[in-house]
Amino acid sequence: MARKNTVNYVDNSELAQLVKEYIESNPNDNGEWLDKYEGTMTKKCQKKADKAEDVKDFIEFRRKLYNSKRPFDKYESVCAKLLPKIYEIIDGRMASYKIFDDPDMRQDALVMFMRYINRYDWRKNTSAFAYITEIITNSINLTLKKRAKDYLDGAIVLESQLEDKVLVSMFKGMDTEGYGTTDE
């Protein structure tokens, strides 16, 4: 029994069909990423012959898809149905991190989704929802990690500026004979 009327719930079978249609109709994806992906996956699968065959099969399948004509009007209609569902998933993942209003993080997650969704293989009958959730979770984690790093870098700069001010105020008016000049 499928859950309905739950906040941020997206039906997996419907989502999988929309993702398939999105990949099949996306005129912006010309498959340029396939060569790099093939190289990366070949290295990762050197010891696993069955996995290497799956990767080869996936790449051949995608190359055939990219050689076929894809109608733009279908792409627009699929996007109109798919994007609200993706935003539901993004909002649900952000809520699990107790983040409720962060348009930049939401946009980063959408961009990451669009960048990596073309690697989803619907022929394996894997969960589209799980695949998309993983992409979005990774995006949120990367954004949080980058913000933490930026915060710490900024805090270190602020701390060193504060130390300079403290040192200046400590020595202001003190007799610093033998240590250089005094502030007067």
Instruction: Assess if residue 102 is contained within a domain.
Output: yes
Q: Please name which of 61, 106, 62 lies closest in space to residue 84, comparing C-alpha atoms.
A: 106
Going by pLDDT thresholds of 50, 70 and 90, the confidence category of residue 53 is confident
Q: Is the pTM of this model over 0.95?
A: no
The predicted structure's pLDDT at residue 167: 55
Domains contained in the chain, number: 1
165 inside domain = no
| Interval 62-85: pLDDT, tens | 999 888 877 778 999 999 999 999
Q: How many residues does the chain have?
A: 184
In a domain? residue 59 = no
Q: Which long-range contacts (CB under 8 A, 24 or more apart) does 74-77 make?
A: 74/21, 74/25, 75/22, 75/25, 75/26, 75/27
Can you give the CATH number for the domain in which 108 is found? 1.10.1740
Does residue 118 fall inside a structural domain?
yes
Domain limits for position 89: 12-27+70-153
Task: Look at residue 121 and tell me if it is in a domain.
Answer: yes
Q: What is the mean pLDDT of the chain?
A: 83
N- to C-terminal Cα separation, the chain: 81
**How sure is the predictor about 132, in pLDDT bands with cuts at 50, 70 and 90?**
very high
In this prediction, residues 113-122 reach a mean pLDDT of: 94
pLDDT for 79: 94
**What value does the mean pLDDT take over residues 176-182?**
49
**What would the mean pLDDT of 110-117 be, rounded to a whole number?**
95
Is residue 22 assigned to a domain? yes
Q: Taking the C-alpha atoms of 27, 29, 35 and 39 in order, what is their torsion angle to the nearest 10 degrees?
A: -150
CA 127 → CA 12, 20, 77, 120, 130, distances in Å?
7, 12, 22, 10, 5
One-letter identity of residue 50 = D
